[in-house]
Structure 1
Amino acid sequence: MQDLKRKLLLSYLQTMLQLPAEKKNALIERALPITRIQPAIKYQTLELPGTAETGRAWLSPHAMVHAYYVNENTQRNVGTYIWSRNEPVLFHSSLYLGQERNHSVQMLEAGPVLSMSYEDLKKLRVEFPEIAQHLEQLSTKKEQTYQRRIILLSEPTETRIRTLEDAYPEFCNIASSTVKAIHVGLCRQTYNAAKRKMNKRHPKEPDERSDS
């Protein structure tokens, strides 16, 4: 697993960060001891709500990940974020502002997962300014996505579904209808009913994946 951890870290750095060889090697050697690697199965929960101090940044190189929270009034899951494969999973408000984490983070596919505590990540970003800049860019991009999602929830049902499918085709191919529904503010039954109507007008494969 240690060899795999090194390989996955190196692959991410080569793909996402343009660093001189010497600095890249230094970053790898610094990150290896503070990075965990673990296998994860489909729909495994990686993280539950909690304090910022116990939060972790996650990286799932081969599997998509999503997040949701539980609405206290309805007790229903509300989808908030979707991460593509090899996209870091972290929450700006907790990492930078120390706010409580109120999301659950869940795998959408099986695969190895890397993680690092927020405390270690904050130290790393001080030692490597390139990491600090990279994290800021990631946070800005994700916040913009979240704001677009809020606006989307005021749109008609079918518009929400089409927008989700256009923005996240891979997610819509692998996620269950229940998971897709919570990311457009619907229950599974309403989502499936809307999809049936849409498919009648534009026939294609049914979109009622089970939750298994």
Structure 2
Amino acid sequence: MNDLKQKLLLSYLQSKLLVPAAKQPDLMERAVQITRIQKALKNQVLESPGPAAEGRAWLSVNAMVHSYYFNEKTQSNIGTYIWEKNEPIIFNNSLFQDMPRNHTIQMIEAGPVLSMSYQDLLDLRNAFPEIAQHMEELSIQKEQSYQDRIILLNAPTQERIIHFEADNPLFSQVANSTIKAMHLGICRQTYDRAKKQIKNQK
């Protein structure tokens, strides 16, 4: 597993981070020491709500991941974020502002997952400006996708499903009806009924 960890870290470093070649050995050495690797199962929960200090940054290299929170008022799970393969999973309000984590992070597919503690990530960020810049770019992208989703949730159900699945084709292929319904703000039964209606209209 250690060889796989090094291979996955190196692949991400070389493809996603603009770190000068002279800095890469030092970054790799530090990253390997503080990174965990695990084999995660389909639908496995990686992280549950809790204190910020116990939070971790995750990277699912070959499998999609999503998050949700439990709405006490409606007694239902509400989808919040979707991460593509090889996309870092970080909650900035917990990382930088020490706010409690209120999301559950769950695998959609099975695959190897890397993770490191928030404190270790902050230490790396302080040591390598390139990581700080990369994290800022990721944050902007995620915020935009979240805002787009908020707008979409105001659309009629069938229109919402059509646009959501067009914008998230891979997620729509691999996620089950319950998970897709979470991110559409509806229950599974409503999702299944609307999908049948959409199919019959074609």
TM-score band w.r.t. shorter chain: over 0.9
Q: Which runs of 5+ in 1 are unaligned?
A: 203-212
- For 1:156, the equivalent position in structure 2 comes to 156
Matches within 5 A, 1:25-40: 25-40=25-40
- For 1:80, the equivalent position in structure 2 comes to 80
Matched residues in 2 for 1:14 and 1:201: separation? 47
Matched residues in 2 for 1:156 and 1:69: separation? 23
- Give identity over the alignment, percent: 60
Tell me the SS of whatever aligns to 1:19.
coil
Q: Which runs of 5+ in 2 are unaligned?
A: none
TM-score in terms of structure 2 length: 0.98
Cα deviation for residue 18 of structure 1 reads 2.3
| AA of the residue aligned to 1:68 | Y
| AA of the residue aligned to 2:172 | C
Matched residues in 2 for 1:24 and 1:158: separation? 48
- For 1:199, the equivalent position in structure 2 comes to 199
Matched residues in 1 for 2:51 and 2:113: separation? 21
1:152-209 deviation line (CA, Å, top 9, x unaligned): 111110121112111110000000011000100010000000000101122xxxxxxx
Tell me the SS of whatever aligns to 2:97.
coil
Matched residues in 2 for 1:4 and 1:94: separation? 29
Matched residues in 2 for 1:156 and 1:92: separation? 31
- For 2:136, the equivalent position in structure 1 comes to 136
Matched residues in 1 for 2:99 and 2:116: separation? 18
- For 2:96, the equivalent position in structure 1 comes to 96
| AA of the residue aligned to 1:175 | A
Tell me the SS of whatever aligns to 1:100.
coil
1:57 aligns with 2:51: no
Tell me the SS of whatever aligns to 1:43.
coil
- For 1:14, the equivalent position in structure 2 comes to 14
Q: Which moved more, 1:104-113 or 1:91-100?
A: 91-100
TM-score in terms of structure 1 length: 0.93
Tell me the SS of whatever aligns to 1:82.
strand
CA RMSD of aligned residues (A): 0.8
Tell me the SS of whatever aligns to 2:120.
helix
Matched residues in 2 for 1:103 and 1:23: separation? 34
Matches within 5 A, 1:166-177: 166-177=166-177
1:122 aligns with 2:122: yes
| AA of the residue aligned to 1:120 | D
